[in-house]
């Protein structure tokens, strides 16, 4: 059975919550939540992303809000514990979800490696 996540494990800013609520009003009712996932790549060796999911597994943690759920498997949670997900819209057409407070590999930074966006998962 999936476990409830606490806000010490993963948080969403108010702008991120508002955007998620907006997105979930536009998707099929079979969508159970938005899955946060990790893949190999990026300057830290791991990139993070999000996708809609129609299944919540036994090894998933769930952060439930009124209008949506954020789903994350145990392995990914180990890399994202304490991370804040924000939504940034500067009005220039490049609105994106951003992962803040990502742990740095080896305890240090990784130079000028780029941004910590939903698709990049790098450092700030």
Domains of the chain: 3-25+32-107 (2.60.300.12)
Total count of residues recorded for the chain: 124
Average pLDDT, the chain: 83
For residue 109, what pLDDT is reported?
43
Backbone angles phi, psi at 86, to 5 degrees: -120, 165
Using a cut of 0.85, tell me whether the model's pTM lies above it. no
Rounded Cα gap, residues 82 and 79, in angstroms: 9
Percent of the chain with pLDDT over 70: 80
Q: Given pLDDT bands bounded at 50, 70 and 90, which one contains residue 105?
A: low
């Amino acid at each position: 059975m999936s476990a409830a996540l606490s806000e010490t494990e993963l948080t969403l800013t108010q702008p991120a919550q508002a955007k998620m609520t907006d997105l979930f009003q536009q998707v099929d009712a079979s969508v159970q939540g938005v899955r946060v996932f990790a893949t190999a790549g990026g300057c830290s060796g791991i990139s993070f992303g999000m996708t809609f999911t129609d299944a919540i597994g036994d090894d998933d943690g769930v952060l439930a809000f009124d209008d949506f759920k954020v789903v994350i498997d145990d392995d990914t949670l180990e890399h994202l514990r304490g991370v804040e997900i924000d939504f940034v819209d500067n009005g220039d057409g490049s609105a994106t979800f951003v992962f803040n407070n990502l742990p740095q590999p080896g305890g240090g930074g990784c130079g000028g490696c780029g941004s910590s966006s939903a698709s990049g998962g790098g450092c700030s």
